[in-house]
A and B are shown apart, each in its own frame.
Chain A
Amino acid sequence: MTDPDAALARRLLSRMWLIRVFEEAVSAAIDAGQLPGLVHLSIGQEATAVGTADVLGDGDRVYSGHRAHGHALAVGAEPWRVMAELMGKRDGVCRGKGGSMHLVDVAHRFLGATGVVGGTIPLALGTALAIGPAGGVAVVFFGDGAAQSGYFHESLNIAALWKIPVVFVCENNGYAEFTPRSSHTVVERVARHAETYGIAAATIDGNDVLAVRDAVGSLLERARAGAGPALVECLTYRVRGHYEGDPAGYRDAGEVATWRERDPVAHFARVAVERGWLSSREVETIETDARRSVADATTRARESPDPAASELVEDVFG
């Protein structure tokens, strides 16, 4: 396992805290009636986003699914502009026309999220074909639910066939919407599917940001070297329901409590202090800074005006 220096530990912890606090602020804004629409939070899954983003190169490109805020923030999207997008404001990354499930931030290599489960997996293949491997690798985040889609299976086949430089990052949080994985398939591990199609695959602890960073980093290097696609299955858990407002009565309190004890942010903070990478005070400062920066971002987003009426018909031909 990587032995991070203080700078790396600070970077990883800061980014995870940012995502955590950002999504708590999203939830609060929904409760306050300031944020419309259908919103899926990734609280509890921050390590997969941050560990992956930390090893991306400038030429790499990223796609995500419907639970995408963390991925966009992890690759560098400005929090206030993501928040403005979720609030439907003019300064949103997509000028308010995408929303929570359709974030795009080209300047930060984030080519898109999707509201159609599995829908960005083929897009990542096409983009990887266009840019790579010399120009970069495409990374696509998706959940275990998407692993039952035709897109996933067809994409595994074609990625292997054409040796496409794409890294599949499956966040296996155990639930496809309201239904546990065991109700969708008899195959226990998503990684098994990849192996069937001739793709290198590993299953790792998705709540360990260093494990994610190491695994994705080596798969990216491999893809850059021309070895083709690979898949990493990150075992993780979403602490919130499928969407904000989902009471998540389909899982028992014990299960949630067990996973809360394995919280990726708290876990890494503890490890960083234990190993002497960060002091307790530094850890506290990182959290405080994240809270302040998200509070500022939320205020700035709230103050952004609605899109102009003319935006309705812009960015599309009549």
Chain B
Amino acid sequence: MGERTYIAALRDATAIEMRRDARVHVLGEDVAEGGPFGATKGLADEFGADRVRNTPISEGTVMGIATGMALAGLRPVLEIMFIDFLTLAMDQLVNQAAKARYMSGGQLACPLVVRTAAGAGRRYGAQHSQSLESWLMHVPGLKVAVPATAADAAGLLISAIRDDDPVVVVEHKLLYYRKEEIDSIEPVPLGRAAVRRRGRHATVVATARMVSEALAAADELHDEGFEIEVIDPRTLVPLDLDTIVESVRRTRTCVVAHEAPVRGGVGAELAALVQEHAIDSLDAPVIRIGAAPVPVPAAPALEDLYLVGRVEIVGAVRSLVGRGGAVA
């Protein structure tokens, strides 16, 4: 189907599912107008205002409405414009949607999808730039997708819509307008990692925007004689731990890279899991890469310092392979 952006792929996937299944409804702030990034552009024209519903700025209540729709058998896709605003809706997501099936002893299902834009790099400041996926990952009952490519954004969204449990799709806004060749839009199963690059000297597990940073790091390290394996988990819950552990057993080193602050982050969980499952294979402790424990600053000069990426990954891998890991 040619070149698509991540945001267009999200829109394609939503339209595909809305055509396929009348239970799929879209709601959120400004969605009938396409939203600020265009993820729902044109959907209201095709599917009507009843299925593509603009909501007031009442995130908590709207999360509850979407949950109530899901409990009654619909498949709502709720756009929370910025993940920062998800904080307003966490009660409904955590206390109602995530727990409905368990607390009801299996009587209820909650096939809710939340799409939300995360990530820094657009000079939006501290309240429009966070990456809060570790909060979501911590809550039993929620599935969490973190697509890094356009094909995965579409494919994971389709799987999320078809899933009977609540799924939050955490989209990185810096990826929205990157172009990518896509043959066709296919469902991507939740819980299957993608090995983005094969390598034998170090494993880098990277999420969302950090996947392309890790690939850039791998290019740079390749020139130095190191082959880096880059794994994109694609979903944090469920997590494809097998693919990560198998890789670490071969490479004997592991770096975990995400954009969010390191403290209490996804990397802490991944590092612990790797060490629990592959400690005998590790030549060195797992290194976590992420932001400093500070709010995202607005000033370009400071935000650029906040954002970690290729340079930090290269440095971490060098320190690992230099301290006894396999050498080319």
Instruction: Point out residues on A near B: beta carbons under 8 Å.
Output: 61, 92-98, 102, 104-106, 111-112, 114-116, 119-131, 138, 150-151, 154-155, 157-158, 161-162, 314-318
Contact = CB atoms under 8 A, between A and B. Distances in A.
Interface stretch (B103-111, B247-255, B272-280): B103-111
B84 to A, nearest CB: 18
B64 A98 contact: no
A121 B106 CA distance: 22
B61 A158 contact: yes
Contacts of B64: 119-123, 125-126, 151, 155
B62 interface: yes
A97 B72 CA distance: 21
A168 to B, nearest CB: 13
Given A122-B60, A158-B55, A94 B103 contact: yes
Contacts of A116: 91, 95-96
A71 to B, nearest CB: 15
Interface of B: 53, 55-56, 58, 60-74, 76, 91-92, 95-96, 99-108, 140-141, 143, 165, 237-238
Nearest to B63: A122
29 contacts: A61-B72, A94-B103, A94-B104, A94-B105, A94-B107, A97-B104, A98-B105, A102-B103, A104-B103, A106-B104, A112-B103, A119-B92, A119-B95, A121-B61, A122-B60, A122-B63, A125-B64, A125-B68, A129-B65, A129-B69, A130-B68, A130-B72, A150-B61, A151-B61, A154-B61, A158-B55, A158-B62, A316-B101, A317-B238
A97 B69 contact: no
A122 B65 contact: yes
Contact of B108 (A92, A112, A121): A112
A118 to B, nearest CB: 9
B141 A122 contact: no
A130 B52 CA distance: 14
A190 B49 CA distance: 32
Nearest to A166: B68
A114 B95 contact: yes
Given A116-B91, A119-B91, A316-B141, A97 B105 contact: yes
Contacts of A98: 103-105
Contacts of A112: 71, 100, 103-104, 108
A239 B322 CA distance: 73
A315 B102 contact: yes
B238 A314 contact: no
Contacts of A94: 103-105, 107
B110 to A, nearest CB: 10
Contacts of A128: 68
A158 B61 CA distance: 9
Nearest to A99: B103
Most chain A beta carbons < 10 A, residue from B63, B65, B95, B101: B65
Nearest to B98: A316
A106 B143 CA distance: 24
B66 A95 contact: no
B257 to A, nearest CB: 25
Contacts of B140: 316
A153 to B, nearest CB: 9
B104 A314 contact: no
Contacts of B143: 317
Contact of B102 (A97, A111, A124, A155): A97
B165 A96 contact: no
Nearest to B140: A316
